[in-house]
Amino acid sequence: MSNQPYRTALVTGASSGIGAAIVGRLRAAGIAVHAVARDKQRLARLADDTGCTPHAVSVADHDGMAEIAKTVEIDILVNNAGQSRTGNIADTTAEDIDALVDVNLRAVLKLTHLVVPGMVRRNRGHIVNISSIAGHYAFAGGNTVYHATKAGVHSLSRQLRCDLYGSAIRVTEISPARVETEVFGRLIGDMEEAKRRFFDEYESLLPVDIADSVAFAVLAPQRMNVSFMEVLPTMQVVGGLNFAKKSADPA
Q: Which residues are catalytic?
A: 146
Closest among 141, 238, 191 to 17, alpha carbons compared: 191
Q: Which one-letter amino acid corresponds to residue 227?
A: S
| Cα–Cα separations (whole angstroms), residue 33 to 20, 70, 238 | 11, 16, 33
How far apart CA 232 and CA 31 sit, in angstroms, is: 27
Distance CA 176, CA 157 (A): 15
Bridge partners (DSSP) of residue 9 are 33, 76
Instruction: Quote the strand ranges of 138-245, DSSP E.
Output: 170-176, 228-231
Q: How far apart are CA 163 and CA 120, in angstroms?
A: 11
Ramachandran angles phi, psi of 218, nearest 5°? -70, -40
- How would you label 9-38 residue by residue, b for 16+ Cβ within 10 Å and e otherwise? bbbbbbbbbbbbbbbbbbbeeebbbbbbbe
Which alpha helices (H) appear in 72-143, and where do they start and end? 94-100, 107-122
